[in-house]
Amino acid sequence: MSAVVEVSELTVRYSGATALDGVSLFVGEGELVALIGANGAGKSTLVKALSGLVRAESGTVDVRGRLAQVPEGREMFGDLTVDDNLRLGGWRNGRKGRDTGAIYELLPDLGPLRGRRAGALSGGQQQMVAIGRALMGRPDVLVIDELSLGLAPLIVEVLVEHLRELHASRGLAVLLIEQNARLALELCERAYVLEAGRVALSGPASELARDSRVAAAYLGGHVAVNP
Ligand SMILES: Nc1ncnc2c1ncn2[C@@H]1O[C@H](COP(=O)(O)OP(=O)(O)OP(=O)(O)O)[C@@H](O)[C@H]1O
Ligand SMILES: [Mg+2]
């Protein structure tokens, strides 16, 4: 299996503070990979390094194929409509690539909102726009920084189903960052646990879900979404 994302010995510092300390990980073609870790572990920094928003002090980031991301905080163009926000996600694909019809088929809840100002949507609605916008770029790999943040469990389930389907039908690879570790480990095939800027554990998601250290640190307080 060749990798769509390969990170090797990546170190990132913010004015002295080390956010990532020699992190190596990969996402295979069409693979679903979870990245879990406590607040401040360095997850968002890794996402930013993948898209070049932060510079590595050392190490390499190799992205083969198209990468799209759903950034933490969504980053809508609040004054533009939902439809315009979606279209911006497809700007690289020419006129046809800006056709948003497929996204409304995929995320039908967005249809009635298409003319609304994105800034006036709820958090969950904005998250759907952010995912739709990322998919407009027809990515080979989708990086999602906090899928369920602020979303009702039912909406999260819908989104997870969509991700499963995109994975199955188009071979979409996903790097999923998710506070709900149980959800992430259920969806994904493989996972990495990031602790204070280092990969503390990695392996098949099913094995990590059974690991006592993971259970104690990340699964304890969570209620299973699909018990
Ligand atoms: N712009 C910045 N300037 C200085 N330090 C930063 C900056 N962004 C992040 N950090 C620090 O880098 C470390 C990693 O932050 P990061 O946002 O990557 O964590 P995270 O795992 O995404 O956390 P969370 O789960 O809270 O989103 C933290 O200690 C954070 O305080
Ligand atoms: Mg973060």
Token pair recorded at residue 13? 């510092």
Query: Who's near 51: CB < 8 A, 6+ residues apart?
Result: 67, 69, 143
Using a pLDDT cut of 70, give the percent of the chain over it: 95
Alpha helices in the chain (DSSP H): 43-50, 82-89, 94-97, 101-106, 123-136, 153-170, 181-187, 205-210, 212-214
User: Does any ligand 1 atom lie closer than 6 A to the CB of residue 42?
Assistant: yes
- Rg (C-alpha) for the chain, rounded Å, is 17
Ordered strands of the 198-204 beta sheet? 67-70, 141-145, 173-177, 32-37, 190-195, 198-204
The atom number, within ligand 1, closest to the CA of 37 reads: 21
* pLDDT, tens digit, 9 for 90 and up, residues 176-185: 999 889 999 9
> What's the pLDDT at 1?
67
Q: Is the pLDDT of residue 49 over 80?
A: yes
DSSP class of residue 2 equals: -
Identify the nearest ligand to the CA of 19 by its number.
Answer: 1
Give nearest CA residue, ligand 1 atom 28. 40
Query: What is the CB-side half-sphere exposure of residue 127 using CA atoms within 13 A?
Result: 19
Q: Tell me, in angstroms, the distance from the centre of ligand 2 to residue 71's CA.
A: 9
Report residue 172 as tokens. Answer: 């979409």
180 lines ligand 1 (CB under 6 A): no
* Residue 184: Cβ-neighbour burial (10 angstroms; 0-12, 13-18, 19+): buried
Residue 128, pLDDT > 80, answer yes
Q: Is the CB of 16 under 6 A from ligand 1?
A: no
Q: What spacing in Å lies between the alpha carbon of 61 and ligand 1's midpoint?
A: 19
| 50 touches ligand 1 (CB under 6 Å) | no
47 CB near ligand 1 (under 6 Å): no
Q: Which ligand is nearest to the CA of 23?
A: 1
Closest residue CA from atom 4 of ligand 1: 14
pLDDT digits (tens, 9 = 90+) for 9-30: 999 999 989 999 999 999 999 9
Enumerate the domain spans of the chain: 26-54+64-219
Which DSSP string corresponds to 69-115? Answer: EE-TT----TTSBHHHHHHHHTGGGHHHHT--HHHHHHSGGGGGGTT
pLDDT of residue 162 exceeding 70: yes
Q: Ligand 1 test: best mutation among 7, 11, 14, most atoms within 8 Å of CB? A: 14
In the 8-state DSSP scheme, what is residue 215?
Answer: I
- H or E element at residue 21: strand 17-28
Q: How much is the pLDDT for 218? A: 85
Angle, helices 82-89/123-136, rounded to nearest 10 degrees: 30
pTM of the model: 0.90
- Which CATH number is associated with domain 26-54+64-219? 3.40.50.300
